Structure 1
Amino acid sequence: MFARALGVVLAGLALVATGCSAEREWGGGAAPAGGAAKIGLITKTDTNPYFVGLRTEAEAAASAKNAEILSLAGQFDGDNDGQVRAIENFIQQGVSTILITPNSSSGVTDALARAEQAGILVIALDTPTEPAEAAEATFATDNFEAGRLQGAYAKAALGGQAPKVLMVDGTAGVSVSTLRHAGFLAGMGLADGAPEIRGTTNANGDQNLAQQGAENLLARSNDINTVYTMNEPTARGVHAALQPRGLADQVVMASIDGGCEGVAAVRSGQIRATIMQFPAKMAQLGVDAAVEHARTGTKPGGFQDTGSVVITDQPMPGIPSQSVAWGEQHCWGDR
C-alpha cells in the first residue's frame, strides 16, 4: 500500500490550490530542503519474495514518516531496460529521491546520471552501482562476505572431505551474483576453474531455472558433495533436482537470503544453513535518508553494510551463527 503525503509545505510558502503541481514549482522535479519526501522505489523484480519484502518494508517506513512512495520494478532479473524506463518515469513524476536495487550495476548509470542532473537524490539498496559514485550512497549486504560465510560453512560441514562442487549462480554479469560466487570460492579455499568444481550454471535467481540447470549438471555427473546456490529460490530448485536422485541428504547445501521460507527450509533439512540478509534495514535507511534529504537537503554518502548472519541448527566450529529459532524471529517475508 502506498503512503500518500497529504501535502507539501515549503519554508514560508504554501502552495495555493490553483492546480499548479509541486513538480512545476520545484522546476526540476526534486523537492528542495523543507519539502516533503516523494520517493521512487525501483526493485529488480516484483516477483522475487526478497524484493517484495524490501518494497513492503520501504512502503511501511514511508507511511510511518508521512512520505509518499511510488514503486516500480523490472519484469525479470536482469531487466535493465525496464529499470531505465522506471527511472525516466520517476524523473517525469518529480520524485525527490530514487531508491534502486539495480539489476546491472552499470546498466542504469546513464539514466541515474540524468536523475541526478534533475536534482534527484539517488540511493542504491541491496546492490551497489558501478561506479559506486553513480549513487550518492549504498545500503546493502556485503555480498562477498555473505558468500564467504556460505563457503566457509560448507567447507567446515564437509568435515575434511575433498569438495566436489556444483555451482548454481545468479545472472551473468550482475555484481551480486559475481560477488557471492567469488566469496563462496574464497570461503571454500578454491579458485574458478579448480577441478573440485564439477559444473556451473546460471539460473537468474529463479527456482524453475535452477531445477532445470541442476538436472542438466547432474545428468553429466552426480558425484558431488557440495552445492553452491546463489539465493533461496535457487536452493529450492536444486533440492527438487537432488531429491529424486537420492542426493538431497548427502550433499552440503547452504544458501543466502534469510527469508522465512528459507529459514523453514533450514529447519526441515532441505538446506544446512542460510546466510540472512536484512532488507528491512536497507529499506528503513533508504527512506530515512530520503526524508532527511527532503527536509534539510542533507545527502548520505558511502557504503553501509547492513549485515549478514549464518542461520543453522548445525553450527560449525569457527563459524559464528544463530539458531533457526533466532532466524524465525528475524526473517522477512511470509511466515
Structure 2
Amino acid sequence: MISRRHRKPQRRVVAGLLCIGAGALALAACSSGGTASSQGGTSGGKGGKVKVALILKEFTNPYWISMEKTAKQEAAKDGIQLQVTAGKADDDTTSQINQIEQAIAAGDKGIIISLNGDAVNNALLKARKAGLIVVAVDTPPIPASVANVTYATDNTAAGVLDGKWAAAKLDGKSADIAMLDDLANQVITVDVDRDHGFLQGMGIPVGDNNVNGKEPKSGKYTGGKGGTYKIACQLPTNGSVTGGQTAMETCLSKDPNINLVYAINEPASQGAAHALKAAGKKGVTVVAIDGGCSNLPFVASGEVGATAGQFPGKMAADGVDAIAQYVKTGKKPTNQSGKDFYNTGTKLYTDSPQPGIPSITTKAAANMCWG
C-alpha cells in the first residue's frame, strides 16, 4: 500500500506540547503552563550524562502515557537522562517550538517528538544543525527530511484495514457514513493518512491526496461486495472522547440513519459509542485506530466493531535506542529502505472476523495491546 506521506507541506499543524528542558533548564517554569517529568541516567559518552528530550502531544490520552512509560524504561536501560513534557491540547505548537529551543540550549543529544506539524520544522532543523538527532514518533513530518528517522505506524495501511473490514461487514448494504477526523483547521499526516486509508479500503476515491473531505459525497464503494454510499457527516474530534461524542451527536442530528462510523482514534470512537448508545442506536458499525488495552472491552461488546492496533511502546523504545546507539557509535539512524518512515506495524483487532481480512480476536490482542 502506498503511503500518503509524499505530499507538499500544508499550512495546518497538530498537537500541542509543552515544556521540555534538561539539565539546568529542567526546573525552569514553562510559560505555557505545561507539565514535565524526568528520568535520570548516565552514559559512556565521554563520561557525561546523555540528555534526551521526549516531547509528547499531551498527557490525557492513554496512548501518550503508554509511550512515556516505555520510553522511560528504555532510557533507564540505555543510561539516558530523559526529560518528558507535553502540552495541554493537540494544537499548542508554540510551546513545542519553545521546548525544542530549550533542548538545544541544554545540550541534549537528541529529541524524540510527536510533532505538531510543519510549524515546528524550522526549530527541528535548527536542532539538527546544532548536532542533535531528531527522531519523530507516530506523526511523520512533512517533509520527511525534517527528522533523521520516523518510527510510526503505516497509518494509511491501518486505515485500509478498517475500510476493508467495514466494507466486508456491510455485505453489500448501503453505507451511510460519519467521518470523525482529528482537527478542522490544521493538516497533519496522521489525520489524512488514516482518513484516506479508510476510504481506500472501502473503495471510495479520496478526491485530493493532501487534505480530508474532498471525496465524492455519494456514489458506489467497491470494497467487499460493493454497494452505494454517502458521506453524511464529517467533523473534527480533537482525538478525544468528548470530541467524538459531540461530533457523533451532531452527525446523528443531521442524519439519524448513519450505519458506519470511522473515527481517527479510540478515544473518539468511544465518544461516538457513548452518543450512539444514548440515542438508542443499534447495529451501527464503528471502526478506529490505536490498539489500547482499555479499548478492548468496547470491541468485545461490539460498540467498536474493529480497531487497527499500533505499537507506541515500540516507537518510543526504538527512538531512545536510536539516540543511544548514535552516542555509542556515531551512526545516525535512517528510515526503512524505500520509505520515508520506519514501519512499526499494525494488526486488526475484532471479534467479528471477515473473510480475507487478517485479524485477531480481543483475547489474543490482550497479549499485545498497550496501556
Same fold (TM over 0.5): yes
Which residue type is aligned with residue 121 of structure 1? I
What is the deviation of 1:315?
A: 0.4
Which residue type is aligned with residue 268 of structure 2? T
- Mapping for residues 77-226 of structure 1, pairs under 5 Å: 77-104=90-117, 106-172=118-184, 173-191=187-205, 192-195=215-218, 196-226=230-260
Range that drifts further, 117-126 or 191-200:
191-200
What is the deviation of 1:91?
A: 1.1
- Mapping for residues 13-32 of structure 1, pairs under 5 Å: none
Contact 1:3 1:66 in 2 (8 A): no
Contact 2:178 2:232 in 1 (8 A): yes
Distance in 2 of aligned mates of 1:128 and 1:219 = 35
Distance in 2 of aligned mates of 1:9 and 1:142 = 34
Range that drifts further, 71-80 or 196-205:
71-80
Distance in 1 of aligned mates of 2:183 and 2:164 = 23
Residue 299 of structure 2 corresponds to residue 286 of structure 1? no
What is the deviation of 1:200?
A: 0.5
Larger Rg: 1
What is the deviation of 1:268?
A: 2.2
Residue 318 of structure 2 corresponds to residue 246 of structure 1? no
Distance in 2 of aligned mates of 1:7 and 1:234 = 40
CA 1:146–1:9 in 2, change beyond 3 Å: closer, same or farther?
closer
Distance in 2 of aligned mates of 1:208 and 1:134 = 33
Identical-residue share of aligned pairs (%)? 38
Q: What is the CA deviation profile of residues 229-280 of structure 1, one whole-angstrom value per residue up to 9, with x for unaligned ones?
A: 1100001110111112221x31111111000111221112211111100011
What is the deviation of 1:3?
A: 3.1
Distance in 1 of aligned mates of 2:366 and 2:41 = 34
What is the deviation of 1:6?
A: 4.0
Distance in 2 of aligned mates of 1:9 and 1:199 = 54
Q: What is the CA deviation profile of residues 32-56 of structure 1, one whole-angstrom value per residue up to 9, with x for unaligned ones?
A: xxxx532110111121111111111
Distance in 2 of aligned mates of 1:7 and 1:206 = 38
Distance in 1 of aligned mates of 2:324 and 2:43 = 14
- Mapping for residues 256-267 of structure 1, pairs under 5 Å: 256-267=289-300
Range that drifts further, 72-81 or 301-310:
72-81
Which residue of the partner structure matches residue 4 of structure 1? 40
Provide the TM-score with structure 2 as the length reference.
0.80
Secondary structure of 1:98's aligned partner = strand
Secondary structure of 1:129's aligned partner = coil
* Equivalences, count: 308
Of 322, 343, 346, the residue aligned with 1:308 is 346
Which residue of the partner structure matches residue 72 of structure 1? 85
Range that drifts further, 153-162 or 260-269:
260-269
CA 1:7–1:250 in 2, change beyond 3 Å: closer, same or farther?
closer
Q: Cα RMSD between the aligned structures?
A: 1.4
What is the deviation of 1:281?
A: 0.9
Q: What is the CA deviation profile of residues 2-37 of structure 1, one whole-angstrom value per residue up to 9, with x for unaligned ones?
A: 431246651xxx6xxxxxxx6xxxxxxxxxxxxx53
* Structure 1 stretches of at least 4 aligned residues deviating more than 2 Å after TM superposition: 6-9
CA 1:223–1:282 in 2, change beyond 3 Å: closer, same or farther?
same
CA 1:224–1:59 in 2, change beyond 3 Å: closer, same or farther?
same
Distance in 2 of aligned mates of 1:116 and 1:46 = 26
Of 25, 33, 46, the residue aligned with 2:59 is 46
Distance in 1 of aligned mates of 2:45 and 2:198 = 50
Which residue type is aligned with residue 69 of structure 2? T
Contact 2:194 2:264 in 1 (8 A): yes
Which residue type is aligned with residue 300 of structure 1? P
Range that drifts further, 69-78 or 311-320:
69-78
Which residue type is aligned with residue 71 of structure 1? V
Structure 1 residues not aligned, in runs of 5+: 15-21, 23-35
What is the deviation of 1:290?
A: 0.7
What is the deviation of 1:193?
A: 2.9
Secondary structure of 1:197's aligned partner = strand
Q: What is the CA deviation profile of residues 290-313 of structure 1, one whole-angstrom value per residue up to 9, with x for unaligned ones?
A: 100111111011221001100011
Q: What is the CA deviation profile of residues 160-204 of structure 1, one whole-angstrom value per residue up to 9, with x for unaligned ones?
A: 101110111112412111110111111111131322111110011
Which residue type is aligned with residue 150 of structure 2? T
